[in-house]
Amino acid sequence: MTSLVLTVTPEDGPVDLPRRITLTGLEPDALVAITARTRRTGGADWDSQATFIADADGTVDLTRDAPVGGDYAEIAAMGLIWGQHPTDRAGPDLFADDVMGPLPTDLTAETADGQGATAQLIQRFAAPGVSRREIREDGMVGTLFTPPGPGPHPAVLVLSGSTGGIMEARGALFASHGYQALALGYFKAPGLPAHITETPLEYFRDALDWMRATLSPRGDFVAVSGQSRGGELALLLGATWPKRVSAVIAYVPGAMVHGAQGAGDPDRGGWHGDTWTLDGTPLPHLWQNNAHVHWHPWDGAAPPDRHHSVFFEGLKDRALADRARIPVERIAAPVLLISGRDDRAWPSSLYARMVVSTLRRHDHAHTVRHLDFDDAGHSINLPFVPATQISRPHPVSGVPFTTGGTPSGNARADDASWRGVLAFLDEATATHASPQEEAPYAHARTS
């Protein structure tokens, strides 16, 4: 009897590198189940399983073969990773406790007659030579990731959304691609407030200044990348301090300032509380006495399927929406917008289109690119991580909410958006050095 051989090629590599998973030594047309189990944050396991039928040569190749049953249902080389679900005791975090170390996944193949094989797939957020340093100075709380090799390197400020905390995984991966990355916390991190309410924009201005003064980025290039509320914030920083921001990357952003929402301090206005302040004054936001908003998904009631309905209601107050609008026409840099067309947390596709339209009307002098993904929701993430968390409790309020999309659609958006970010940054850094070569607008609906 031929022994089974389960192979991962390459076995060890960066998290954004697709792998080839093959199984040989099967009988023709034999059924085989392959399980993938990963130990993620807090020692909790995530797993997936898919069943395949061998070809005439007794081989299964995940780059070629769709499963006949299991946790995903298409040809997808990394479906066993993005199709993972948490075990009962697992939390929502997708990454390792230490982003500088390996993230191993154990693969097990088993046939109906008891034959088996095992292999391991190792993902890394930090490439060899990337360094990590905690930053606790000048009031900042964050983590700096520096690429290997001599600088100078261009820099990226990495901002989380309403989950708070510090986005170390994204910072480490930016550094793995040659960018100094400061993953900056601004709430729900050690030494910082527990809520987003009344966050001063000056905190981020000072971080941008610190990056230039301390990191000496190549070409004085400092981009800002933010997710969700961080995407709103990235646009806001580019509009507030255009000379300090060299490029804006806004994942599933808002086109206007919103109240504190699910990350708000219940003792300071909750959902309706002020999110951002400038010079000690709260910025106008969409929930300030908005007569068209009669409910919201964070009040403890059963949430609607599409949370973004409340945002459409909010936009009916045209005067308030105009006051709350982020003046993106003030941005003096390239802009990349990433959205999901099935975003059920808020209408990021609409918001991104509003930003593109405003910049076009004002003859924006820099590249504007919009990647808009079919079947993707609000949780567009890094490539080849689980994409199955479509409904879960909000990490601050604890209220259930729905992000939208399908696992397959979210996984495609995870991968394609990251490729788009890297291409955008490559272009933006080159454009920053040679302004006369700036590219025209580009808009893409991506499936």
Tens of each residue's pLDDT in the chain, 447 residues: 569 999 999 999 999 999 999 999 999 999 999 999 998 877 788 999 999 999 999 999 999 999 999 999 999 999 999 999 988 765 567 787 799 999 999 999 999 999 999 999 999 999 999 999 999 998 999 999 999 999 899 999 999 998 999 999 999 999 999 999 999 999 999 999 999 999 999 999 999 999 999 999 999 999 999 999 999 999 999 999 999 999 999 999 999 999 988 888 889 988 889 999 999 999 999 989 898 887 666 555 565 555 668 888 889 999 999 999 999 999 999 999 999 999 988 999 999 999 999 999 999 999 999 999 999 999 999 999 999 988 777 777 777 777 899 999 999 999 999 999 999 999 999 988 543 333 444 445 554
Quickly list H helices, 62-167.
79-82
Residue-number span of the structural domain to which 82 is assigned: 5-124
CB neighbour list of residue 355: distance below 8 Å, 6 or more residues apart:
235, 250, 253, 255, 326, 328, 335, 337
Domain match, 230 and 160 both: yes
Q: 100 and 155: one domain?
A: no
Strand partners, 200: 277
Same domain, residue pair 99 and 186 = no
Q: How many domains does the chain have?
A: 2
Indicate whether 173 and 70 sit together in one domain: no
For 277, the 3-state DSSP assignment is strand
Whether 71 and 217 map to the same domain: the answer is no
For residue 13, give Cα distances in angstroms to 124, 127, 128, 384. Answer: 6, 8, 10, 12
From CA 284, how far away is CA 259, in angstroms rounded?
9
Q: Are residues 178 and 221 in the same domain?
A: yes
Its pTM stands at 0.93
Q: Are residues 113 and 147 in the same domain?
A: no
| Tokens 């930016």, located at residue | 174
Classify residue 27 by its DSSP letter. Answer: P
Cα dihedral across residues 326, 328, 332, 337: positive or negative: positive
Domain boundary among 124, 140, 167: 124
Verify that 267 and 296 share a domain, yes or no. yes
Query: Are 374 and 281 in a shared domain?
Result: yes
